[in-house]
Chains A and B, each alone.
Chain A
Amino acid sequence: MTSYLKIDHIDKSFERGGVRTDVLKDVSLTIEKGEFVSIIGHSGCGKSTLLNLIAGLTRVTSGAILLGNTEVNAPGPERAVVFQNHSLLPWLTVYENVNLAVSKVFAGKKSKTEKHDWVMNNLDLVQMAHAKDKRPAEISGGMKQRVGIARALAMEPKILLLDEPFGALDALTRAHLQDAVMEIHARLGNTMIMITHDVDEAVLLSDRIVMMTNGPAARIGEVLDVPIPRPRDRIALSADRTYLKSREAVLKFLYERHRFVEAAE
């Protein structure tokens, strides 16, 4: 039985001016349908590169990534990405931004009213239907990221890739959005991969946490299961033993065994 997403011994190196830099070395990972997996590591460890490889935005140097039975070698809507800085198109309204994705992905598959309903359905899901006629410049950072998530969900992806989706948000807004993502994950059962550098966020949201060693030539150092039953509640969890133990394990990995050494750059 093949797994849903299979990352099979991939290497990634960049060449610039004849100098070869290994970013990822021999990374293997399998992800099952409906799983929420976080990838955590210090900055510069290549976690964003890994996400870009899964998205198909960059090509692997060697090895392969398989989604179902097809190899990933180009970007596509079945691997929708939520970018760190929302990257909504500023000349389109909230509705038009989501509709751009819907009209492209469902061209010839849905009727006009079905497309409209699907856009509104996804805006409802992130509670942004009220701002459908606003432009990105008129809404807050958290709202923009909600729309970014709606746009990605509207592509009906097989796997949703979140690249530090809450990194640019303040702590309160971040908590709101984390809850929103958990709710969406519970309701739709999407497979999600999230890049983060926030330990609490990783433990709260994930079924498994993939911890990366420091680059260059970063590897997967450890994979931690987070066996906390869902639905999860951040307040109840703050005293939960499994939560605290998981959190400690990640912290130990990041700050004891794989301390970030700035001078190594």
Chain B
Amino acid sequence: MTATARKAQPASEAKPLTEPVMTTATVVALPKPMRSTFRPQAILAAAARNIVPPLVVVLIILGVWQIACSHPGASLPAPSQIWTDSADLITSPFFNNGPQDIGLAWRVLISLERVAIGFGLAAFVGVILGAVVGQSVWAMRGLDPIFQVLRTVPPLAWLPLSLAAFRDSNPSAIFVIFITSIWPVIINTAVGVRNIPDDYRNIARVLRLNQLEFFFRIMVPAAAPYIFTGLRIGVGLSWLAIVAAEMLTGGVGIGFFIWDAWNSSRLSDIIVALVYIGVTGFILDKLVAFVGTIVTRSN
């Protein structure tokens, strides 16, 4: 009833106005789109959708954990125990009380520095090797089987060899990062390069682009989505490898911190460090994915 009445109204109004409406019809006051204005309700709603469910799950896990480990003689510390043992590690990540007593954020940063060097080298060498393998049938036939074998070698299996070769723990750890994270970069880049449409290659041939121009103007942008898939897998692997490598090589990284804590039976500290490692790995992964979406947005 109301719907028909509403529909009929503008029609009856418009009738006597046919002529002038032609010129004034553009002046219609539409409600302004609220896109640019700040809407706290919408932001809160989005936050609630994304943050509340994991928060609830974490609380449930902590609750179950607390119940399971609070009886006397439990082999692992309960959350309340962790808080009493290691509150300083949780609340002040950036303290610095001398060479071996520093906040976990510092340790994470030191590990990240090694990852940055090792992974940066792996990304650089991996993209170039991947481009060669993807571009040349013979390079693929020769190198691909070797890559497929080497990529299955676990990161730590490289460590004794690299210790023997570099005779120092820091370059050895960096080498382990490099050798762990390079394979997915190579393999994904090669697939991306192999999938460059023939049309793009023909354009390059008609324009007589040289190898270098082809690499930067066509190959890298065309294969960028694949390259970033490889980089994302690679950065995850390198974070896995650094913690393991540091446990064996020592130093001040987050991996060695866990080993050190185990040797002095500080189980609570280990659990706090695990959370740091997990959060850092998560951020690293999101960071590479974010750079990837920005770079490949136009594809």
Q: Judge whether A76 is part of the interface by a CB distance below 8 angstroms.
A: yes
- Beyond A57-B202, A81-B202, is A104–B218 a contact (Cβ under 8 Å)? no
Question: In the assembly, what is the distance between CA of A75 and CA of B221, in Å?
Answer: 23
Question: Which of B199, B200, B213, B299 counts the most chain A CB atoms within 10 A?
Answer: B199
- Which residues of A have CB within 8 Å of B296? 91
- Which residues of B have CB within 8 Å of A101? 207
Closest residue to A85 on the B side, CB-wise?
B199
- Beyond A77-B207, A100-B207, is A90–B202 a contact (Cβ under 8 Å)? no
Closest residue to A105 on the B side, CB-wise?
B207
How many residues does chain A have at the interface if contact means C-beta atoms less than 8 Å apart?
Answer: 24
Q: Judge whether B15 is part of the interface by a CB distance below 8 angstroms.
A: no
- Which residues of B have CB within 8 Å of A91? 221-222, 224, 296, 298-299
Q: Are B203 and A89 closer than 8 Å at their CB atoms?
A: yes
Determine the interface band of chain B, counting residues with CB < 8 A from chain A. 10 to 19
Shortest CB-to-CB span from B174 to chain A, Å, is 33
Interface flags, A76-91, vs B, CB<8A=1, else 0: 1101110101010111
Question: In the assembly, what is the distance between CA of A101 and CA of B208, in Å?
Answer: 10
B271-299 contacts to A, CB under 8 A, are 296, 298-299
Q: Judge whether B17 is part of the interface by a CB distance below 8 angstroms.
A: no
Question: In the assembly, what is the distance between CA of A83 and CA of B199, in Å?
Answer: 8
Q: Are A89 and B218 closer than 8 Å at their CB atoms?
A: yes
B224-272 contacts to A, CB under 8 A, are 224
Q: Are B299 and A77 closer than 8 Å at their CB atoms?
A: no
Q: Judge whether A55 is part of the interface by a CB distance below 8 angstroms.
A: yes
Q: Are A87 and B197 closer than 8 Å at their CB atoms?
A: yes
Q: Are A76 and B202 closer than 8 Å at their CB atoms?
A: no
Shortest CB-to-CB span from B220 to chain A, Å, is 10
Closest residue to A52 on the B side, CB-wise?
B202
Q: Judge whether A247 is part of the interface by a CB distance below 8 angstroms.
A: no
Q: Are B197 and A90 closer than 8 Å at their CB atoms?
A: no
Main SS class of interface, A: loop
Closest residue to A89 on the B side, CB-wise?
B200
Closest residue to A57 on the B side, CB-wise?
B202
Q: Are B299 and A90 closer than 8 Å at their CB atoms?
A: yes
Question: In the assembly, what is the distance between CA of A223 and CA of B298, in Å?
Answer: 45
- Which residues of B have CB within 8 Å of A90? 298-299
Q: Are A75 and B200 closer than 8 Å at their CB atoms?
A: no
- Which residues of A have CB within 8 Å of B206? 55, 57, 75-77, 79-81, 155
Q: Are B208 and A76 closer than 8 Å at their CB atoms?
A: yes
Q: Are B202 and A87 closer than 8 Å at their CB atoms?
A: yes
Q: Are A75 and B202 closer than 8 Å at their CB atoms?
A: yes
Q: Are B203 and A87 closer than 8 Å at their CB atoms?
A: yes
Closest residue to B218 on the A side, CB-wise?
A89
Question: In the assembly, what is the distance between CA of A157 and CA of B202, in Å?
Answer: 16
Closest residue to B220 on the A side, CB-wise?
A91
Interface flags, B203-225, vs A, CB<8A=1, else 0: 10111110001000110011010
Question: In the assembly, what is the distance between CA of A256 and CA of B200, in Å?
Answer: 39
Question: In the assembly, what is the distance between CA of A80 and CA of B208, in Å?
Answer: 11
Partner of A104, one of B199, B200, B202, B213: B213
Q: Judge whether A116 is part of the interface by a CB distance below 8 angstroms.
A: no
- Which residues of A have CB within 8 Å of B200? 87, 89
Q: Judge whether A197 is part of the interface by a CB distance below 8 angstroms.
A: no
Interface flags, A102-127, vs B, CB<8A=1, else 0: 00110000000000000000000000
Shortest CB-to-CB span from B177 to chain A, Å, is 30
Q: Are A77 and B203 closer than 8 Å at their CB atoms?
A: no
Q: Judge whether A135 is part of the interface by a CB distance below 8 angstroms.
A: yes
- Which residues of A have CB within 8 Å of B199? 83, 85, 87
Closest residue to B206 on the A side, CB-wise?
A75
Q: Are B197 and A75 closer than 8 Å at their CB atoms?
A: no
Q: Are B217 and A100 closer than 8 Å at their CB atoms?
A: yes
Partner of A75, one of B208, B218, B224, B299: B208
Question: In the assembly, what is the distance between CA of A14 and CA of B213, in Å?
Answer: 30
- Which residues of B have CB within 8 Å of A85? 199
Question: In the assembly, what is the distance between CA of A120 and CA of B199, in Å?
Answer: 24
- 29 sampled A-B residue pairs with Cβ under 8 A: A55-B206, A57-B205, A57-B206, A74-B205, A75-B202, A75-B206, A76-B208, A77-B206, A77-B207, A77-B208, A83-B199, A85-B199, A87-B202, A89-B200, A89-B222, A90-B298, A91-B221, A91-B296, A92-B298, A100-B207, A100-B217, A101-B207, A104-B207, A104-B208, A105-B207, A135-B298, A137-B298, A155-B206, A155-B207
- Of all A-B residue pairs in the complex, the 10 with the closest CB atoms, nearest first, are A87-B199, A75-B205, A91-B221, A91-B298, A75-B206, A104-B207, A90-B299, A135-B298, A81-B206, A91-B299
